[in-house]
Amino acid sequence: MSEPIRVLVTGAAGQIAYSLLYSIGNGSVFGKDQPIILVLLDITPMMGVLDGVLMELQDCALPLLKDVIATDKEDVAFKDLDVAILVGSMPRRDGMERKDLLKANVKIFKCQGAALEKYAKKSVKVIVVGNPANTNCLTASKSAPSIPKENFSCLTRLDHNRAKAQIALKLGVTSDDVKNVIIWGNHSSTQYPDVSHAKVKLQGKEVGVYDALKDESWLKGEFITTVQQRGAAVIKARKLSSAMSAAKAICDHVRDIWFGTPEGEFVSMGIISDGNPYGVPDDLLYSFPVTIKNKTWKIVEGLTINDFSREKMDLTAKELAEEKETAFEFLSSALAHHFDVTKGSKAEESKCRL
């Protein structure tokens, strides 16, 4: 048996975490011979609910779980982490502008980035799920300057899986038969689900998705909007946001970081755009196609980008640049204000704990 790794899940009393924690504890993510110390963080008012989650994890009697720690304290939660899965964020409320959501979350992820910087291992892998995930991830990374930027990624695997599933449903195959779909850009309705490089296995032979489907208008129209708006469709039907599928996508994302991607396959994740070969401005947290080896991602190079794709990729980059500007304007004004008020007030502290 290896040494236990310390894995943090924030927003641990929430519904995504409830679908996620069993898979982490049973070896589906880090392997069947990797013991885990699981750290659960949430805000103080949720500690009663978190105790119930803790009881259930104990009652699962999972042999790989060496310890489970439930806390509302940053110094306990972020200490010596190998992996941080930041699920908790301020949810969007009725009548809330995206800008307001950004402001609320930027504060949380600045705090969590600072906590990673102060307490976690410098080798920690950080996966941001809480929305707006790309900009939250960039904020956390900027707030943890001594942790490599490459160690931060945000979840676009749910969109990736949704795209795979739509193609599989349309062709009457399983989603395992579809590979190399791409999600470019932001985890928002401007994301660009791209299947121009995707392959599907039909009668034992790999063919391009465009050739297999022979339905360009669907692929450039309804397919894209279905994937872009799938989260809203789930909320409309379920009256709750995607939890089971989000948890499955987190598992896929983290497992691929840990064990690498299969030969000849690439996946989508939000990563720092610095030096990318696709003309996306530097210093954005943008979803690209990547391969992963030895826990290190590499952007897939040499993919041809047609005019249709270029336009979509630029549109989502523009949104991310605007989000970044809004977030960082707010951060700098909040920072200026911070020096005028009592340092480290309890109210500020609780905002970091989601």
pLDDT for 330: 84
Confidence of residue 336 (pLDDT cuts 50, 70, 90): low
Does 105 score more than 50 pLDDT? Answer: yes
Q: What would the mean pLDDT of 315-335 be, rounded to a whole number? A: 89
pLDDT for 346: 44
Confidence of residue 331 (pLDDT cuts 50, 70, 90): confident
Does 94 score more than 50 pLDDT? Answer: yes
- Which is higher by pLDDT, 13 or 93? 13
- Beta strand pairing call for 5-10 and 83-86: parallel
Confidence of residue 349 (pLDDT cuts 50, 70, 90): very low
pLDDT for 343: 46
* CB neighbour class for 295 (10 Å; exposed up to 12, middle 13-18, buried from 19): middle
pLDDT for 352: 61
pLDDT for 93: 72
Is 187 a known active-site residue?
A: yes
Residue-level length of the chain:
354
| Among the ranges given (7-11, 90-94, 98-102), the one the predictor scored with the smallest mean pLDDT | 90-94
Percent of the chain with pLDDT over 90: 86
Q: Is the dihedral of CA 307, 268, 353, 22 positive or negative?
A: positive
Catalytic residue, from 160, 187, 197, 253: name it: 187
Confidence of residue 227 (pLDDT cuts 50, 70, 90): very high
| Among the ranges given (98-112, 146-160, 279-293, 313-327), the one the predictor scored with the smallest mean pLDDT | 98-112
